[in-house]
Chain A
Amino acid sequence: MIEIRNLYKRYHNHHGSDWVLRDINLTIPPGVNVGLLGRNGAGKSTLLRLIGGMDAPERGDVIRHSRVSWPIGLTGGFQGSMTGRQNVKFVARIHGGEAKVSEVIEKVQSFAEIGDAFDEPMNTYSSGMRARLAFGLSLAFNFDIYLSDEATAVGDRMFKEKAKKAFKDKIGEASLIMVSHQEGILKELCHAGIYLENGHATWFDDINDAIKIYHDATGGESKADKDTDDAPPPDLTPSDKDQAAKWLKEYRRQWRQQHTALKKARQLRLPAPEITARKTAMVTTRQHIDQLEAFLDSNPTPGGGNDTTNSPNTNQQEPPHS
């Protein structure tokens, strides 16, 4: 559990200073994954640093009742001229002396999967490789709360899956406080949300509410909004052929996405329920596709033989049945 009481924070500089955070009062209960939302410069990283104890507030208190990780992010924590292994060793020594070092190295190596680059200087790494190492390093220690500052933003698909899985495995033992602009990952991993604006923080029990407020505040058409406009309604009764064709296209796109996700899940050897969940989703999509195709077949376009060439059976694989 983390308690934040009457917290104020500002940074001093030569041009006077404004409050970055004003009078923040929050209690983050144990075992709840929290997503931090807000625009660039709203103070998300600052709040995360304060929670992590890297920085101290001007006024107020941060009370940590559990072991909190350092903010896992893209910057800091590593020395570029030293190899990944040396950097990992250093952090392992800080956190518990020589005895733990080999154990930590093993864990990090197996998570990061960067191969021989582990023994190369870190300034030769790509940002994705750094993210893998940073992530693996923090997971090698048993914290009660992990802090992530856009740690998954630069990783490839496989790494994101792996990171998500790692946190899902830790549910019950550890929780997560994450800053991210990727709504997908926020929705998937977080339960609650905190929205930061003008230095004030608002707590939402449901992350979806926080995302909604964030969208309302930032105005413009966000991608997620567009998706919901295009998305077919669940009851599936198209008014005309054009709409049916549009929905069909959307469902085929979804099916292809789900197909690659399933392949990835198999590659990563995710646990059985994960795989089954993905398969069921594919079956549902498949049913919708069949339904729409049937609708289009029953209302044939004069002289239009296009529908058969677009059928998923001809240009796509069958969904695997097993």
Chain B
Amino acid sequence: MAISSDTTHDQPQPGRPPWEVTRSVWSALFVREFLARLMADRLAWFWMIVEPIAFVAIMIAVRVVVLGHDAQIAGAEFVPWMITGLLGFFLFRENMQRPIGAIEANQGLFAYRQVKPVDTVLVRCYLEGMTRSVIFLLFIAVGALIQLDLLPDRPVMAMAGWMSLWALGIGAGLTLSALSALVPEISKLVRIVSLPLLILSNVIAPLHLLPHDLLVYLMYNPIVHGIEYMRVGFFPYYEPLPGTDITYLWYWALGLIALGLMLHLRFELRLKAK
């Protein structure tokens, strides 16, 4: 963002207002990121859509083959329940992980003083959220055609849940991208943690089979709240895990976003120099 640091002053001149500069940086970065993603290799656009679909298909296949079809989930069919969980979790995970690479990938651009590290993070999160949303809409459309119960019963609520997970991901991404410049090992740690998080977030195996004593601790994980909230929006008779509270997630999301922005402001030069 076009905030001039306190030691270097640009004299007021017939230039553009800061917000306009920031906006043109965002739109330029967006086009660039989008093109880079599309042209990464041949058929990149195809894989952008097919990769998450294939991943979800494999996860469902494994789950059905290994654990059988009779996993009971109160108020929801098993496959749609899992699709919502996986897509919601991926939205969070990608928004958390992608920004860590964003700053390094765009290092050369900091030659132009309009571009700040936080811009690359925000633009990448926006692009990630948009592509994930399109993929989700594709799932819903195809699901509706093959009579999979994937049409949200309360669309606004489902969308609110989706947005919450996105916000949580952006917060985590902002914070971790700044921290990983200070402590490079963070990016490895994030990758190690992401699989256990998948299991602990009520995505593959229903957590309500666990004893209540344990569940209390698992509910400290904010991702579960977002996924459960979104599922309530999808399935009219769904029983979320006891203690599901979307406000709890938003405390985390807003806290992480604020922390991330502060870290970016404080360590901007370290992030640029790296």
Q: Judge whether B108 is part of the interface by a CB distance below 8 angstroms.
A: yes
- Given known A-B contacts A70-B112, A77-B112, A82-B32, A64 and B24 have beta carbons under 8 A apart: no
Q: A54-B272, A61-B7, A61-B9 are contacts. A70–B108 as well, Cβ < 8 Å?
A: no
Give Cα distance in the complex from A93 to B35, angstroms.
15
In the complex, number of A-B residue pairs with CB atoms less than 8 Å apart = 90
B1-39, CB < 8 A from A: 5, 7-11, 13, 15-16, 20, 24-25, 27-28, 31-32, 35-36, 39
A79 near B32 with CB under 8 A, answer yes
Residues of chain B touching chain A, judged by Cβ–Cβ distance below 8 Å, are 5, 7-11, 13, 15-16, 20, 24-25, 27-28, 31-32, 35-36, 39-40, 107-115, 269, 272-273
Q: Which of B8, B35, B107 has the most CB of A within 10 A?
A: B8
Judged by a CB distance under 8 angstroms, whether A90 is at the interface is: yes
Task: Say whether, besides A54-B272, A78-B108, A79-B32, A94 and B10 are in contact (CB < 8 Å).
Answer: no
Task: Determine the chain A residues whose CB is within 8 A of the CB of B39 once the complex forms.
Answer: 81-82
**Given A67-B13, A79-B36, A79-B108, are A93 and B113 also a contact pair (CB < 8 Å)?**
no
Contacts of A90 in B (CB 8 A): 28, 31-32
Write the nearest CB–CB distance from A43 to chain B, whole angstroms. 15
Q: For residue B112, which residues in chain A have a CB less than 8 angstroms away from its CB?
A: 70, 77, 91, 94-95
Select which of A60, A82, A94 is within 8 A of B28 by beta carbon.
Answer: A94
Cβ-based interface call for A193 (8 A): no
A52 within 8 A of partner (CB): yes
Asked if A66 and B13 make an inter-chain contact with CB atoms under 8 angstroms apart, the answer reads yes
Asked whether A93 and B108 contact (CB < 8 A) given A53-B8, A63-B9, A66-B13, the answer is no
Instruction: Specify which of A54, A63, A96 is in contact with B113 (CB 8 Å cutoff).
Output: A54
Does A70 lie within 8 Å of B111, measured CB to CB?
yes
Sampled A-B contacts (27; CB under 8 Å): A11-B273, A52-B113, A54-B272, A55-B269, A55-B273, A57-B7, A57-B8, A59-B7, A63-B9, A63-B11, A67-B15, A76-B110, A76-B111, A77-B111, A77-B112, A79-B32, A79-B109, A89-B31, A90-B28, A90-B31, A93-B24, A93-B28, A93-B31, A94-B24, A94-B112, A95-B112, A97-B27
What are the 7 closest A-B residue pairs judged by CB atoms, nearest first?
A: A93-B28, A76-B108, A77-B111, A53-B113, A76-B111, A97-B24, A70-B111
A235-273 contacts to B, CB under 8 A, are none
The answer to whether A94 and B114 touch across the interface, beta carbons within 8 angstroms, is yes
With A77-B108, A89-B28 given, name 14 new contacts (CB 8 A): A53-B8, A55-B269, A57-B7, A57-B8, A63-B11, A64-B11, A66-B13, A70-B112, A76-B111, A77-B111, A81-B40, A82-B36, A91-B112, A94-B115
- Distance between Cα atoms of A157 and B101 in the complex (Å): 40
Q: Mark A35-64, 1 if CB is under 8 A from B, else 0.
A: 000000000000000001111110111111
Known: A82-B32, A86-B35. A54 touches B110 (CB 8 A): yes
CA distance A108 to B138 in the complex (A): 42
Chain A residue nearest to B16 (CB atoms) is A96
A15 within 8 Å of B by Cβ? no
Q: Which of B5, B10, B35 contacts A56 (CB 8 A)?
A: B5
| Residue A223 is within 8 A (CB to CB) of chain B in the complex | no
Docked complex Cα distance between A60 and B35 (Å) = 41
Question: Which residue of A is nearest B108, CB measured?
Answer: A76
Asked whether any CB of chain B lies closer than 8 Å to the CB of A136, the reply is no
